[in-house]
Amino acid sequence: MSEDDATAIVGRITASADYADLAEMPLVIEAVFEDQDTKRGVIEAVGVLADPASVFATNTSSISITKLASYHPHPDKVVGMHFFNPVPLMPLVELIRAEQSSPETVEYVRGMAESFGKTVVEVADVPGFVANRVLMPMINEAILCLEGGVASADAIDLTLKLGANHPMGPLALADLIGLDVVLNIIEVLHRDLGEDKYRPAILLKRMVAAGKLGRKSGEGFYVYG
């Protein structure tokens, strides 16, 4: 990206801590912490102010879109719009229809995502959708391998990079996502699907309890900065 392009993009961004600034927005995309109560607070605050025609898209990684839509005064205007990290580089958006989502809302968000240059896949409103239902058990299994002394963190990541052609190893990816977010997603899968294969590794719980959350805290499976 050129310096001029970067400056132009930054110039189009306005920061605010006032929900009132969202009142006339045609589309609001929520991307707060992966916790149902936290998201509910945002949805309710925006819903009170939003125009009835405004669309509310949640970037949740695993929480039921139908449940989140129930917190909005116009649930037909709520849809899941799950981006992938890092968003500027990852082309995929999972589009998740709540039970209440209107066809018009779904198609509007599909069009917006495509206008961002994203590839859209529509998936069912089930815990973890597609990507995290597959990805999180893999990350959890990598943590269990580390916990069990199967191999070092470097060796586990290198094995997946070279053996499965992944651009990043699962432990490095967990650090990028944030270990607290990884734990929250796995706990949602475990609770809502009720299967032991989604039980989070003890090491993951211990690291989150210790504040070792990955890149954002400076230490996770690796040390940063």
- The string of DSSP letters for 130-192 reads THHHHHHHHHHHHHHHHHTTSS-HHHHHHHHHHHS--SS-HHHHHHHH-HHHHHHHHHHHHHH
Q: What CATH number does residue 24 fall under?
A: 3.40.50.720
Answer for the pair 173, 179: CB distance below 8 angstroms, yes or no.
no
Contact 121, 109 (CB under 8 A): no
pLDDT in tens, 59-85: 999 999 999 999 999 999 999 999 998
* Residues with catalytic roles: 82
Q: Which of 123, 149, 182 is the last residue of a domain?
A: 123
Cα–Cα dist 166/128, whole Å: 20
Where a domain ends, among 89, 123, 157? 123
Last residue of a domain, one of 93, 123, 153: 123
Which range is most confident: 7-21, 75-89, 202-216? 202-216
Residue 222 lies in a domain: no
Instruction: Give 28's contacts (C-beta < 8 A, 6+ positions apart).
Output: 22, 46, 50, 54, 55, 56, 57
The number of domains in the chain is 2
| 223 domain-assigned | no
- Quick one: 196 and 102 in the same domain? no
Q: Of the candidates 122, 110, 120, 40, which has an alpha carbon nearest to the alpha carbon of residue 75?
A: 40
Task: Name which of 83, 84, 93, 31 is nearest 56 in CA terms.
Answer: 31
Shared domain for 25 and 115, answered yes or no, is yes
Query: Which residue segment(s) compose the domain that 143 sits in?
Result: 131-217
| Residue 224 belongs to a domain | no
- For residue 225, what pLDDT band results from cuts at 50, 70 and 90? confident
User: Once rounded to an integer, what is the mean pLDDT over residues 150-158?
Assistant: 98
- Residue 197 sits in a domain whose CATH number is 1.10.1040.10
The answer to whether 62 and 177 have CB atoms below 8 angstroms apart is no
Shared domain check, 155 and 46: no
